[in-house]
Amino acid sequence: MQTQFDPPRRRGIIFQLVLSVVLAAAGGLAFLQASQAGSGPEFLITMVISLALLLPSPVLLYRTYSLVRGFYRLDRDQLQIKWGLRDEVIPLPDIEWICMASDLPYPLPLPLPNWPGSLRGKRHVPELGEVEFMASERQELLLIATPQVVFAISPADPQGFIRSFRKLSELGSLASHSGYSLQPSAALMEIWSSTVGRRILAAGLALELVLLIWVGLTIAANPSFAMGFTAAGRPTESGPSERLLLLPILNGVFDVVNIISGLYFYRRTGQALTTYILWGMTILTPALMLAAMFFMTRAALP
């Protein structure tokens, strides 16, 4: 006998997707403005605004993915809590008690930041100890106590969850199971233990630093730089050299996307080859941008 309870999803999915699209669009417009801005404070301000608007989007998209894939599954032997890349399996005999958060004689502090669809994180509560939240809504939170930690979850039908837990507990376990706890960082640590993975990331980081240093030296030496070229490779127009900062910034964005994608596929398949290919892009992308810097610098020479 197995029963699955899903968290309330609709409000959180709509809120997070709309917010991520709005922030990404605004950040893209600010990035475009920065690419066309002159030198000085205008470029730096628009670039900072662009990054501030773009950075939350991957977090929102991951939280949306966690909400869509999240569930709480009960059977006679264990409770499984799935939330994004986080996976917790608790043997039913290890559960000490279950109660509604609203039944506590004190308000339950929530993790920060939180928003509709994402109540994720840990808080230390003096009366309870460590509380880990894997929930989508603060209303009708359900607390599950184990010897190590108290889990706060939000099944759409909390009373039905409690009834199912009591019924399954009365039936008793069919077999003895040991629980396990899988953290998102575990995938990173596993693949980081590989020499190949470490070398790929180290090489990508080194090329990013070389690109950043080269761009910095070019900006310091040249207030303007060739931004357009003829078919023969001769410069046709110049612009503020600060625009060259777009190269290491774009490379950094690509690196983050490739690293996260590699971890996702490793977590899904357990195969390192796809991860190595995606992480290899952290070497190829800065290498291409360094080549672009070389040709631009060479073409700009008299």
> DSSP assignment of 104-161, as one string?
SSSPPPPPSS-BTTBEEEEEEETTTEEEEEEES-STT-EEEE-SS-EEEE--SSHHHH
Both 52 and 101 in a single domain? yes
Could you give the 3-state DSSP secondary structure of residue 272?
helix
Rounded to whole angstroms, how far apart are CA atoms 143 and 158? 10
Q: How far is residue 34 from each of residues 28, 53, 57, 296, measured CA to CA in Å?
A: 10, 13, 19, 20
Residue written as tokens 């029963």?
A: 3
Looking at residue 238, what is its pLDDT? 61
Q: List, run by run, the mean pLDDT of 10-residue segments along the chain (302 residues).
A: 86 94 89 69 78 86 91 91 89 91 92 92 92 92 93 94 89 71 68 78 89 81 61 57 78 83 74 82 89 75 53
Domain boundary among 182, 199, 214: 182
Looking at residue 128, what is its pLDDT? 92
Asked if 91 contacts 77 with a C-beta cutoff of 8 angstroms, the reply is yes
Looking at residue 142, what is its pLDDT? 95
Token pair of 33 as six digits: 């403005």
How many folded domains does the chain comprise?
Answer: 2
Both 47 and 69 in a single domain? yes
Domain boundary among 159, 182, 205: 182
Structural domain boundaries, residue 229: 184-302
Looking at residue 231, what is its pLDDT? 53
Give kind and range of the element (H or E) at residue 233: none
Both 8 and 135 in a single domain? yes
Both 142 and 274 in a single domain? no
Both 75 and 172 in a single domain? yes
Both 63 and 169 in a single domain? yes
